[in-house]
Amino acid sequence: MIITKMSLPRRTFLRGIGTALALPLLDAMVPAASALSTTAASPTKRLGFIYIPNGANMSQWTPASDGSLELSPILSPLAPVKDHIVIPTGLAHRQAEAWGDGNGEHSRASGVWLNGVHPKRTEGADVRAGTTADQIAAAKLGQDTPLPSLEISLENSFVVGNCDNGYSCVYTNTIAWRSPTTPLPMEHNPRVVFERLFGEGGTTAQRLVRLQEDRSILDAVREDMSRLERKLGASDRARVNQYLDAVREIERRIQRVEAQANDAELPDTLARPVGIPSSFTDHAELMFELQALAFQADITRVFTYLIGREQSAQSYPEVGVPDAHHSVSHHQLDSAKLEQYAKINTYHVDLLAGFLKRLQATPDGDGSLLDHSLVLYGGGISDGDQHSHIDLPLILAGGGAGKVQGGRHVRYPSDTPMANLLLTMLDIAGIETPDKFGDSTGQISLEPLTV
């Protein structure tokens, strides 16, 4: 890196009419006198939480041995990023159990996952759970970003009323709670997410106007971009161009989906979906790419991603599973269903691996986005047939800015509260943790292994 006297503000935007596009971290944003020390000493820390519904085939999930990580069949797609992976086993969410409230295992599983608090059983508006770890993080990490946090999903949250034995659908519609009584909606339309990240304003009227524009938002900032590029070194120019190419590619993909939707012959009485790919794979990968860009541009440092709502009936013919996910999870030890279950789990992990590889390939300060992030992936149910909330399926990815050593399978004492892991993640991200978080009993060790 060539050190110059120029320093751009970290929150530099390319501006055009109705558009403000944030830039990724550049060498020119680090003061010359501290260019080498600042990025190494205090990298930007990021947290992500990705939820999978309906549990997992644990016999094909859990690594065979402790210590050095030997990937199980389901976890095999993580091989390219294995050195950034910790598989924690033995963690539990006992607050997801009935405690006198009867059935409702699915609602409690997702309602408890990021807070360790037993949710109130109610079908009405008087829902109550607990402030989630992502929102505790967003209160601090989000102070310097345009969006404190981002909540996205692959299924809509339009379902209301009683979804699970007397529990409001709110508990399965989201995994993010700003306060014990304030669940946050999760957006499943990539077009809306894109505009939230890169556009100013987001009313329905404004979105419709932009949908009719036959040009990219990048065209609006072309003049500002040209001026900026003349001031940057070669490495920064390459980084900006790579980032803008990725933005343009996402725009192209969204516009292609919209064009297909507009060309479809539908009855006038049906609303036409805009921006949501018909392919689950395309939808999932697009949302992952949007999140990667949000990290790269420092638009947000905290996200939650709901791969599917508990009791999801999504089928996966692309991997040979035409049956509904929820019904497959109730396998009753049937070998054919167990194999389908494992296929779904492996497919989801493969999508995760693509996202992690994207983070690993994106420079950030003295490392990569993956080096400076912690991403927790998993669910609030282990074996879907038993609705078990112990020994949960979890993957911790990322370097935590040098505080987490990957390539390990760490087995904790049985029934260790998962809230302990959440507490530890917050501490690693530099967030002052509450004295009591859910049913936590203290932090757990994620320190680098000694050589």
Tokens 């080096």 belong to which residue? 371
d(CA 195, CA 212): 14
Confidence tier at 344 by pLDDT (50, 70, 90): very high
pLDDT at 191 over 90: no
pLDDT one-digit tens code per residue, 272-302: 335 789 899 999 999 999 999 899 988 899 9
For the chain, the helix, strand and coil percentages under 3-state DSSP, each to the nearest 5: 40, 15, 45
pLDDT at 368 over 50: yes
d(CA 321, CA 232): 50
d(CA 394, CA 379): 7
Residue (of 385, 413, 378) closest to 87 by Cα position: 378
pLDDT at 228: 80
pLDDT one-digit tens code per residue, 370-411: 999 999 999 999 999 999 999 999 999 999 999 999 999 999
pLDDT at 203 over 60: no
Asked if residue 304 lies in contact with residue 151, where contact means CB atoms within 8 angstroms, the answer is yes
Determine whether 311 is exposed, middle or buried from the number of CB atoms within 10 Å of its CB (0-12, 13-18, 19+).
buried
Asked if residue 196 lies in contact with residue 203, where contact means CB atoms within 8 angstroms, the answer is no
DSSP 379: -
pLDDT one-digit tens code per residue, 51-99: 999 999 999 999 999 999 999 999 999 999 999 999 999 999 999 999 9
pLDDT at 115 over 60: yes
Confidence tier at 45 by pLDDT (50, 70, 90): very high
pLDDT at 419 over 50: yes
Q: Phi first, then psi: what are they for 181, rounded to 5°?
A: -120, 10
d(CA 43, CA 365): 7
d(CA 302, CA 50): 11
pLDDT one-digit tens code per residue, 299-313: 899 999 999 999 999
Q: Region 32-39: what's the mean pLDDT?
A: 42
Asked if residue 14 lies in contact with residue 225, where contact means CB atoms within 8 angstroms, the answer is yes
48-188+304-451 folds as Alkaline Phosphatase, subunit A (3.40.720)
pLDDT at 214 over 60: no
Determine whether 299 is exposed, middle or buried from the number of CB atoms within 10 Å of its CB (0-12, 13-18, 19+).
buried
pLDDT at 257: 60
Least reliable range by pLDDT among 46-50, 62-66, 260-264, 361-365: 260-264
pLDDT averaged over every residue in the chain = 85
Domain residue limits, the chain? 1-42+195-275, 48-188+304-451
